[in-house]
Amino acid sequence: MYEPDTAAILPEDLLSTASTDDQPSNPAAHGQEEDRLPLDKVARPPVRSRLPVSVEPVLFLSTFALVLQAPLVTQYLWDRISDELGYNGSRRSECNSSEPADPLQKQVETLTAHWNLYINLGGFSVGLLVVPLLGSWSDLAGRRTVLILPNLGLALQAAVYLVVMYLKLPVAYFLVGRLLSGLSGDFNAILAGCFAYVADISDRKSRTFRVAVLEACLGLAGILASIIGGQWRRAQGYINPFWLVLATNLASALYASLVVRESVLPDPSAKLLTTRHHKAVWRLYSTGGSGIDGDRSFCRCKLWLYSLCFFVVVTVHSGSRELYVLYELSPPLCWGSALIGYGSAAQNLAYLTSLLGLRIMQLCLEDSWVALVSLASNIIGLLVFSVADSTQLMFTGYGLCFLFMAVTPVLRSKLSKLVDPSEQGSLFASVACVETLCYLVGSGIFNSLYPATLYFMRGFTFLFAAILLLIPAGIIGTLQCLDQRRELRDSPE
């Protein structure tokens, strides 16, 4: 038979392209084929992987390396700056301490925070230009390159950090490594590529859960890296953990190169260095996505509103997360390192419980209602944190937040369904940039609000975060009601 021979010769991801090139001349048969297969799918055939995983190991390994590296960089900066200034004390947060603050320690803290800010802003400013470029380019050139290149850039960054540590170079060279990583897309390009890949290979029904699995990889990698990183640094210092960071990024790039199959049909003529890619991101939000209802204006409105919801949710998540340790160190809780570690583990465990909860709720609820349940879980937990004055109440708050991460995969999935298959890379590249902006905005707002409100309510910042989450809850609920009303109006009597 001819078809089995063709299947034996052609790669599976090119089969649909081969079949469209050899269409029968019968007009009726051609019309039936057009009815059966949408045009965008003919031009961009999706890959249905036979493996239970696709890009999940790429995201897991990259996240593991990032989470392992981040606190080590901060601690290394502290130690190097302390040596340069002649400070030989230790970082302490003693409850009810009456000792005056050491001015030299304050100087070390300030310089460490400043260098952290310079390094992060350097990577963010470069990535803000590069990530949309790579994301939109991947819609034409394929996803695998966008998964490989940033991992190589992160490996190069780790190599620069190792050189700095071996040769005791000035900490300013850390910024060089961060800029090199930013030029290759940094971790945000990996996020964009992985989520776009999952959007390529999944259908509308399964997309939310596949996105949630990717988000669970973030949490699982965070738990593992947090456990390994601190213990290893205390035992062997900084250099050996950074060799693992380098090896993990190279392993992620190797997996993407050898195992991950292309999910779009690459265009060899696609150019990377062109303004067309940034214009594609702008056009995405200015003209709106495709939409299944054909109303592009309503689709564009939903695109902006769901993006606003995503911005508020991630800003609250990132901003409040930075305050948990500070809140727990202060009186009346006065937690030690052990309890802080348990609290961090409970928080990261919510990635897995949110995945399980989302899967169960999808059996009886639509995605919008799942998102509202997740927001309710987060709001209730934050309200408990705002009044927590005991260890029991703090862990009760962590327990009530067990579904708080289910809302972000729903929002990513809803955004993905609003755009064409040829725009998934542009969409998730813009979402990745928004996510980075959320971390900066959340850090600035919440770290400024917390000390300003201590004199009248220690937990006011968590109360403020809970109030902010009412905004996306109202938007998601309203849009869901409007969609249901449109479906009832358009359905045949």
User: Mind listing the pLDDT tens digit for each residue in 140-169?
Assistant: 888 888 899 999 999 999 999 999 999 999
416 token code pair? 């993905």
Report which of residues 198 and 487 the model is more confident about. 198
CATH for 439: 1.20.1250.20
Q: Is residue 42 part of a domain?
A: no
Whether 219 and 363 map to the same domain: the answer is no
* Distance of alpha carbon 462 from alpha carbon 446, whole angstroms: 9
For tokens 């310079």, the residue is: 118
Residue 237: strand, helix, or coil: coil
Last residue of a domain, one of 227, 258, 274: 274
Whether 445 and 301 map to the same domain: the answer is yes
Residues 330 and 450: beta-carbon distance below 8 Å: no
pLDDT in tens, 68-93: 888 788 788 888 888 888 877 654 44
437 token code pair? 């902006």
Q: How confident is the model at residue 235 (pLDDT cuts 50, 70, 90)?
A: confident
Whether 304 and 263 map to the same domain: the answer is no
pLDDT at 17 over 80: no
Q: Is residue 324 part of a domain?
A: yes
pLDDT in tens, 432-491: 888 888 888 887 888 888 888 888 898 899 999 999 999 999 999 999 998 888 878 776
Size of the chain in residues = 493
Q: How confident is the model at residue 348 (pLDDT cuts 50, 70, 90)?
A: confident
Report which of residues 113 and 307 the model is more confident about. 307
How many percent of the chain have pLDDT more than 90? 34
DSSP string, 145-199: HHHHHHHHHHHHHHHHHHHHHHHT--TTHHHHHHHHHHHTTHHHHHHHHHHHHHH
Whether 108 and 169 map to the same domain: the answer is yes
* Distance of alpha carbon 187 from alpha carbon 433, whole angstroms: 11
Whether 451 and 402 map to the same domain: the answer is yes
* Distance of alpha carbon 298 from alpha carbon 425, whole angstroms: 22
pLDDT in tens, 375-394: 999 999 999 999 999 999 99
* Distance of alpha carbon 161 from alpha carbon 184, whole angstroms: 17
Weakest mean pLDDT among 252-261, 263-272, 308-317, 440-449: 263-272
Q: How far is CA 13 from CA 40, 192, 200, 202, 391, in A?
A: 15, 21, 12, 14, 54
Last residue of a domain, one of 274, 300, 321: 274
Residue type at 192 in one-letter notation: A
Q: Is residue 44 part of a domain?
A: no
Q: What is the pLDDT of residue 491?
A: 67
Whether 386 and 326 map to the same domain: the answer is yes
Q: 164 CB contacts (<8 Å, ≥6 apart)?
A: 170, 171, 173, 174, 177
Whether 258 and 334 map to the same domain: the answer is no
Q: Is residue 41 part of a domain?
A: no
Whether 254 and 310 map to the same domain: the answer is no
Whether 292 and 183 map to the same domain: the answer is no
Q: Is residue 185 part of a domain?
A: yes
Whether 421 and 371 map to the same domain: the answer is yes
Q: 121 CB contacts (<8 Å, ≥6 apart)?
A: none
Handedness of CA 387, 390, 394, 396 (dihedral sign): negative
Q: Is residue 24 part of a domain?
A: no
184 token code pair? 């290759």
How many percent of the chain have pLDDT more than 70? 83
Which among 197, 190, 193 is positioned nearest to 53, based on CA atoms? 197
Taking residues 126-132, report their average pLDDT.
85
Q: 297 CB contacts (<8 Å, ≥6 apart)?
A: 288
pTM of the prediction?
A: 0.75
Handedness of CA 220, 221, 222, 227 (dihedral sign): positive
Q: Mean of the per-residue pLDDT values for the chain?
A: 80
Q: How confident is the model at residue 295 (pLDDT cuts 50, 70, 90)?
A: low
Weakest mean pLDDT among 40-49, 101-110, 194-203, 334-343: 40-49
Residues 77 and 96: beta-carbon distance below 8 Å: no
Which among 145, 129, 141 is positioned nearest to 58, based on CA atoms? 145
User: Which range marks the domain in which residue 435 is found?
Assistant: 275-493
Q: How confident is the model at residue 493 (pLDDT cuts 50, 70, 90)?
A: low
Whether 210 and 329 map to the same domain: the answer is no
Residue type at 40 in one-letter notation: D
Task: Tell me which range, 249-253, 327-331, 426-430, is most confidently predicted by mean pLDDT.
Answer: 249-253
Q: Is residue 424 part of a domain?
A: yes
Q: Is residue 23 part of a domain?
A: no
The gap from C-alpha 258 to its chain's centroid, in whole angstroms, comes to 24
Q: How far is CA 275 from CA 330, 430, 454, 486, in A?
A: 50, 15, 48, 38
Whether 219 and 319 map to the same domain: the answer is no
Total domains in the chain come to 2
pLDDT at 63 over 70: yes
Last residue of a domain, one of 274, 302, 336: 274
Q: How confident is the model at residue 265 (pLDDT cuts 50, 70, 90)?
A: confident
Q: How confident is the model at residue 288 (pLDDT cuts 50, 70, 90)?
A: low
DSSP string, 19-51: HHHT--S-HHHHHHHHHHS-HHHHHSPPP--SS
